[in-house]
Amino acid sequence: MTDDTLPSSSLPENLTEKRIRDLLQRPDSPAHAILSFAQLDGVSVQHGHAHIALSTSRENAEKLTPIRSAVEAEIAKLPGLTGATLSLTSHRPNTPQPAPPQPAGHRPFNLGKGKPAHAIVPDVTTVIAVASGKGGVGKSTTAVNLAVSLAKTGLKTGLLDADIYGPSLPRMLGQSTRPEVKDSRIIPIEAWGIKTMSIGYLVDEKQAMIWRGPMVMGALTQFLGEVEWGHLDVLVIDMPPGTGDAQLTLAQKLGPKLAKGGAVIVSTPQDIALIDARRGVSMFERMETPILGIVENMSYFCCPNCNHRTELFGHGGARAEAENASVPFLGEIPLLAAIRASGDDGTPITLSAPESEAALAYTRLAETIAETIKTKL
């Protein structure tokens, strides 16, 4: 009996994995198009479900979004498979590409009228930085659900999207209102019980994409000094990915408040993401920021039909990394289409499906962090 004549149900998983790789490599296959934009990091089949890990640039990740579902559907048609999920991670340069010169005195958004910077988040008690060494690992999704869950524990919570080159908060929170400005102070947008701010509320995304480093630092400083955060027990910051100047600036400016809170590092289980997570841990250690721990996102797949749990791509890597770095392991978030969909729909999964396994994982994460914060209030 040849490979092709084996009944689908008895196809060994490694043979199916080879078929997926062959399909992706075949120039006449529609799925092949995805490899023009992304690099194949791994293929794994477990209990009839295929997981394909790809990495790409952020720009290409956007081009891939429209073809993602079609490729998943095409792969799922292979014998022996009941479904397929593509997971995409992206690398972004820490330093932006050179941009056209800006007029002298130009500010990223002209709201402070050139006054000296106000005190940095004066009435915020603690700051939590949600960071990742690598883009696309689910840092923003984690930050949003963590903030919403912290608010549910009774803490007055804010959420700042510090990812100037790729703000995702407006989409993930379903907000498109432009913030008001009163007495040169920007009023945060209230959504789902938290106060939020993002560059995406203020300027067109493409405009921010070409900002030089100093303009990005200027915008971040304005977010900290010119937004009317009011009293907050905790401000969660969705950090830009990587370990560059923007991360260092934020860590320096927020020093004592960050020292009362700390950093949460998000990683996927793949080795490549873990190497970047390690860099993130050492950057915060150098800044003397407490590391609250590492979260493993897209840790395992839960079949939406039978709830069967499938472990992906060396699941457990982040736990081992946390042990190596002697920092706490904060838990595992499953890879679930519902998490992606709730992010796209603008209602965090902790609110749209509070009893789901994913929401419960975020709740446990928030409860652990809330315990630390409540000792500092």
Question: Which residue's CB comes closest to ligand ATP?
Answer: 138
Structure token pair of residue 192: 């789902």
Shortest gap between Cβ of 242 and ligand ATP (angstroms)? 9
Of 55 and 125, the one with the shorter C-beta distance to ligand ATP is: 55
**Residue 133, marked binder:** yes
Is 135 labeled as ligand-binding? yes
Instruction: Print burial letters for 214-231: b (CB count within 10 Å at least 16), e (below 16).
Output: ebbbbbbbbbbbbbbbee
CB 321 within 8 A of CB 295: no
**Smallest gap from residue 138 Cβ to ligand ATP (A):** 3
Q: Is 138 annotated as a binding residue?
A: yes
Residue with tokens 């330093």: 95
**CB nearer ligand ATP, residue 78 or residue 88:** 88
Nearest residue (CB) to ligand ATP, 29 versus 94: 94
Q: Whose Cβ is closer to ligand ATP: residue 6's or residue 40's?
A: 40
CA distance linking residue 179 with residue 189, whole number of Å: 6
The residue ranges that bind ligand ATP (CB under 6 A) are 58, 90, 132, 135-141, 163, 166, 168, 241, 297-298, 333, 335-336, 339-340, 343
The residue (of 11 and 169) whose beta carbon lies closer to ligand ATP is 169
- With a CB cutoff of 8 Å and minimum separation 6, the contacts of 72 are 83, 84, 85, 86
The reply, when asked if residue 139 is annotated as ligand binding, is yes
Question: In whole angstroms, how close is the CB of 141 to ligand ATP at the nearest point?
Answer: 3
Residue 140 marked ligand-binding = yes
Q: How far is the CB of 136 from ligand ATP (least distance, A)?
A: 4
Neighbour tally for 247: CB within 10 Å: 24
The residues, any chain, with a CB within 8 Å of residue 203's CB and separated by 6 or more, are: 108, 109
Token pair 């060994």 is at which residue? 12
Is 267 assigned to a binding site?
Answer: no
At CA 99, angle to CA 97 and CA 105, rounded to 5? 135
Residue 1 Cβ, how far from ligand ATP at the closest point, in Å? 38
C-alpha span between 58 and 63 (Å, rounded): 9
Specify binding-site residues for ATP.
133-140
